[in-house]
Amino acid sequence: DTGVSQDPRHKITKRGQNVTFRCDPISEHNRLYWYRQTLGQGPEFLTYFQNEAQLEKSRLLSDRFSAERPKGSFSTLEIQRTEQGDSAMYLCASSLTSGRQNEQFFGPGTRLTVL
Chain contacts with other proteins (rule: CB under 8 A): 4, 6, 31, 33, 40-45, 48, 50, 56, 58, 91, 93, 95, 97, 100, 102-109, 111
Of 80 and 96, nearer to other proteins (C-beta) is 96
Phi then psi dihedrals of residue 44, to 5 deg: -120, 135
Of 15 and 48, nearer to other proteins (C-beta) is 48
CB 89 to other proteins: min, Å: 8
CB 16 to other proteins: min, Å: 26
**For residue 15, what are the CA distances in angstroms to 29, 69, 85, 114?**
35, 26, 10, 6
CB 49 to other proteins: min, Å: 12
Q: Are 50 and 30 in contact (CB under 8 A)?
A: yes
Strand 65-68 and strand 53-57: pairing? Answer: unpaired
